[in-house]
Copies of this chain bind each other. A is one copy, B any other.
Amino acid sequence: MSGSSFGKAFQITTFGESHGPAIGVVIQGCPPGLPIDQDLIQKSLDKRKPGDGPASTKRKEPDTPLILSGTFEGKTTGTPIMIMIKNRDAKSSSYEDIASVFRPGHGDYTYHQKFGVRDYRGGGRASARETAARVAAGAVAQLVLDPYQIKIESYTVGLGGIRANIFDAKIIEKNPFRCPDMEAALKMEKKIETIKNQGDSLGGVVEIKAINVPAGIGDPVFDKLDADIAKAMMSIGAVKAVEIGAGIGAAEMTGFENNDQLTQDGFASNHSGGILAGISNGDDIIVRVHVKPIPSILKPQKTLTDTGQPTTISTKGRHDICAIPRINKVCESMLALVLTDHILRQKTNR
C-alpha cells in the first residue's frame, strides 16, 4: 500500500533506509515553470543537519541533493521531480550488536512484527534520516507558496520541561535551540549538559507558524486542513501530540472565551489557529507539536532479543540528545507540503 506517499494534488513519495545506498523523494504535481536548483534544496537541508550544538549527533552527512528529473534549464517542467541524497557516512558495523535486539522506544520490534524481516542498520526505514527527503520536498513546495508570500517558521517553546515564557523573534536565531526566550534557552543548554552526562535524553515542544495563507483552503470533511496537518506532524517519528491554535487550552475555555469574534479589522483573537471547520480563515496557521525524548540512550535498559530472551541494551551509536532543533525544520517542511497540496486543490473549485 502507498504508505510512503503524502498529498493528493502535490504528492510526495519518499524512499530509502538510513544505511542503504541512498534516500530520496519523488514529487508529483509540482506546477511547471518554477525556478529550482540544487542550492535551494541544499539550504533547506542544511537547516536540518546535525549542528554543532550540544543536542546534536556527531554523524556528519554532506547531504548533497541531486535533482535527477522533472527540471529543464533551471525550471520545473510539471513532470515528477526526483531528488536523491546519497548516504555516505554509514557505519553499519556500529549497529551490528543491535541486529537481534529490540531497542526500547524504537521501531525495531514493530517492524519485525509487521514485516518479518528488517534492515536493522541505523533504524533502516524508521530512521529520522528519512526526514531529509521530506525537507528536500518541502523546499520545492515552498516555491509554490512564494507567490502568496506565505512564510513558515518554527521555534522551540519547550525543551526538557523548560518552557519559553516570552516570545522575542530576534532571539530565535541566536541560540542553538531556536527558542524565542533567551533565559529559557540558557536553562535548556544547562539541562541538556546534565542529561547528556547521565546518558539520557530529552524531548520538547515546537511551535510552527505560517503567515499569509489565503482563506479558503482545506477539504472537509476528512481532508480538513487541520486534519492533514495533524497527520503530517504525527507522521514525524518522535511526535506524540499535535495542537492547533489554542489546542489543549481550548478545552478549558468557555465558548465565549474561545470563539474568535469577527471585526472589520479581522478576527479579534486567533484561538482557532487560523482554521475553522477545516478550512483556513486567513489568519496565521498555528501548530504545536510535542516531541518525545530520543529513545537511543547510553543508560542501560531492559529489553528482549528477537528470540524473546531478556537482555539489557545501552545504545552507543552517534545520536542527538534531543530531536530539537533538527526536527523544527522537518515540521516546517511538513506544513509547507500540506499547504501546497491544499492551495493546488483549491484551484479545482474555481
Chain A residues with CB under 8 Å of chain B are 1-6, 8-9, 11, 13-17, 20-24, 26, 28-29, 31-33, 66, 68-70, 72, 75, 77-82, 84, 102, 104-107, 109-111, 113-119, 124-126, 130, 158, 160-161, 195, 198, 200-205, 215-224, 226-235, 237, 240-248, 250-264, 268, 271-273, 275-282, 290-297, 299, 301-304, 308, 310, 344-350
**Neighbour of A264 across the interface among B84, B245, B310, B344, CB < 8 A:** B310
Question: In the complex, which of the residues B33, B234, B263, B290 contacts A117, with contact meaning CB atoms closer than 8 Å?
Answer: B33
User: In whole angstroms, what is the CA distance A102 to B245 when docked?
Assistant: 20
Q: Which residue of B lies closest to A344 (CB)?
A: B348
Given contacts A230-B231, A240-B245, contact A349 B78 (CB under 8 A): yes
Whether the Cβ atoms of A278 and B220 lie closer than 8 Å is: no
Contact: B222 with A226, CB < 8 Å? no
> Which residue on B lies nearest to A114, using beta carbons?
B216
**Are B348 and A1 closer than 8 Å at their CB atoms?**
yes
Beyond A4-B80, A17-B77, A22-B82, list 7 extra A-B contacts (CB 8 Å): A3-B28, A15-B70, A79-B119, A200-B254, A204-B251, A250-B293, A253-B293
A29-B348 in contact (CB<8A): yes
Contact yes or no, A277 B111, CB < 8 A:
yes
Inter-chain CA distance A259–B299, complex, in Å, is: 11
Q: Are B2 and A78 in contact (CB under 8 A)?
A: no
